[in-house]
A and B are shown apart, each in its own frame.
Chain A
Amino acid sequence: MCWPFTVLTALAILTDGLVYAAYLFLVAVGLTLIFGVMKILNVTHGSFYAFGAYGAAIAVGIYFDRGYPAAGGFLLMVLVACAIGLVLGLVLERGLLRLVYGKDEVVVVLVTYAAFLILEDVIQLIWGTNSYALYQPLDLAGTIDAGPLVLSGYDIGLVVFAALLAAAGSFALKHTTWGRLLTVVIFDRELAASFGINVSLVYTVTFVLGAMLGALGGAAMAPKISVTLGIGVEVIVLAFAVVAIGGMGSVGGAFIGALIVGMCRAAAVHLVPQVELFVIYAVMALVLVFRPQGLFTRAQPRKI
């Protein structure tokens, strides 16, 4: 069957946009949660991502090498990420962030940046300068043919996973008790505290959750990339940009923001490859011009 060129390109842009959007969303969702609830620009997010990737690459790599069933491998990726996120999140939040909560926002950002620098070298001390590969999930997922366009099963899986995560996140925030608690704290911390909500506990839970999501992003991406030093740095700006576009604390916003950037970038690569470098920043600038607080933001009451 002969595919007309424009239909093919349009299909490619659509699928590529979705895949890249899934990548961005997975990378950014943990950050937007932490940012929305705790108002902290968590630079250590890059470390969560990197640790998640390394953990998955090594643990799951060993799992597949031993020849255990495939489905378990995918489950293990999620478990490893959650475990790493739990440990790192707890250590950082209870151990470090707790000390600087009252201080200026910038100081808190710098504390997370300091933690990121230290963790970068910790990664090097633990795992050295070599790169690690986790190719089995990619192979196992197979391909789907759409004419000359071949789609990777793993990519499609990532899109589905991201969509499910977004749906689950939005649902949880609106309909579960904990979700509603988080939402209240996002709205107004002081008000929440005055209602008797244990804000400190909410903070810990949020940070750990954000850490787990960050590590999950890294674990999910590990099969596609070469897990090596420095992968954390690249995702920080991407995550920040998506959060800025989507609005603070909005899971739905992060999803829509990721979609917009993903589509624009895919279109750029296919049609005007030269501008790919600028796409995410141009989208962010454009969104912020029209919606200075991001796409989905709650009306802020003026406080005197």
Chain B
Amino acid sequence: MGHHADIDRQVKTYILIFVTLMALTIVTVAISRLHLPVHLAVAIALIVASVKGGLVASYFMHLISERKLIYWVLGFTVAFFFAVLLLPLWTHFDPILN
């Protein structure tokens, strides 16, 4: 499985992703020194982290060329991840006495 040419192309991609990840790491640390207002800082930090994470997942973990079954499993997982993240939060912000 996978010609030598295939793997060579993949290896080139890995190096490129590595450089990108390093750059984004520097970016995220640099931006944090600006002490932006909280909401903006959080948004930017999470966006950068998501891009980095997305690259790791898509290329190092080969998700970009994975099977449908794996996508389905991860899809539901992400949905439930947001459920456990957001529902307690929303409940906290909806107390019975306002």
**A, B from the same assembly:** no
Name A residues whose Cβ lies closer than 8 Å to a Cβ of B: none
